[in-house]
Amino acid sequence: MAMFAMFQRSRLGKFIIFLVFLVIVLQVFHMSLLTRLEAKEALNRHKGPVDRQLKVKTLPEIVDDMEEKVRNSHRLDYSGTYHVIANLLTAESHDPGQNRDDLAIVTQCSSNHLHHLSHLSQVWDGPISVTVFTFDNNIETALKHIVKLYLCREKIRKTTSFHLVYPLDRAPRSLSESWKAVNSCEEDMSVDREKAPNYAIEGIEYPQNLLRNLAIKNSATSLVFMVDIDMVPSENLHGDFLYLWRTALKARANETKDTVFVVPVFEVKEGVTVPDTKPNLIGALDRAEVRPFYIDPCSPCQTFTNYPKWVSLTHSKGMQVAYYINWKYSWEPFYIAAKGMPLYDERFKQYGYNRISQVCELHVSGYQFAVLNNAFLAHRGFKRRGDFHATKNQELTKNKILFTKFKDELKVKYPNSTGTCL
């Protein structure tokens, strides 16, 4: 009997221990559930599309992660002048470390031009990689805009990854909590827009080539399409090019590995609807509502695309390579390329020679320039030579001297090349 009683007490003790353990597990689960519910309630307090459940993280988790990356930023560019934060906030579709067989738009801007992403993401069906430049406490404006776009624009949340750059000597002294709140998706960002170009920020050299390279390196796609953030791609450009690439170009890798695919650029008169197809574009050209990009400030910069030839091509539904162009001095086309092409020289800052230097190196290194038949980009508003910032000419002179040095360096870098930048 004594042994039986001892056995019963032993079983009772084990049962009590089991119950205690079960209570602890249930308490931990309860606390975890409460934490998740509190986070969800915080997210649901926002109006409009913000109340949608995010796929990966809650709003508090997102902003805390961004803040940690900014506060613990220790990576500098090669010159030691700028803080560089790759993948500050990544798209839900982002797969780090992967270069998947896809085409991404890569672009850059300062915080006052971030609003252009709303429209760009609507007309572009693929990934977007954007580097944002900021400085001083403007970083709070940049972070707030990024968070708002991410939360309020489902397409941006799914496709767009953000990177951040700011000068070492103009780093933010502190971060308040105000940028973390998104009160309403109905609030417009227009109050924070500025008409001044990125390189008109007083006392700061705008490092567009550093920003471009960062966006390219972190695009997580095998193909990239470098555009200005205020440009609009033609309808179905992403899907049509990928179809051409996968069904024709990729199989001819030996022929196309050193080829960039030029996309003609146009500018659209203020107040006119941006054309989305080539027939609509040609109609707008006939009405003088559209003209070749940059034709007034710098005609040679784009004219070698041969706009008359492109317009006169026989209409076809599919995308094809229409013709090839030998590079000529001053021509700086916008193009699609496979990763691995020469990157942008980060010594070029502010206005002048920042893109042409890279296109020149493409030419010297042996790349071909193939113009696509139905693809185009449109820029809202006519570019006029009198609309530039006050220091444009000084910057142009400074960068021209650097470009002369750059051309000499290319001769050393590509000693067997017959191409030149003249």
pLDDT tens per residue, range 351-372: 888 999 999 999 999 999 999 9
CA distance 338 to 349: 25
- State CA 418 to chain mean position distance: 34
Other beta carbons less than 10 A from residue 354's beta carbon: 25
Return the SS3 of 162: strand
**For residue 184, pLDDT beyond 80:** no
How is the beta sheet containing 335-338 ordered, strand by strand?
A: 82-89, 160-167, 128-133, 100-110, 221-226, 335-338, 259-262, 368-372, 321-325
* 339 vs 317 pLDDT, higher one: 339
* pTM attached to this predicted model: 0.84
Range of weakest confidence among 30-39, 72-81, 223-232, 332-341: 30-39
Instruction: Please give the pLDDT value at position 31.
Output: 53
Tell the residue number behind the tokens 């550093």, with chain if given. Answer: 210
Tell the residue number behind the tokens 């070029």, with chain if given. Answer: 348
Instruction: Please give the pLDDT value at position 12.
Output: 60
* 98 vs 110 pLDDT, higher one: 110
The percentage of the chain sitting over the pLDDT mark of 70, rounded to a whole number, equals 80
**For residue 217, pLDDT beyond 50:** yes
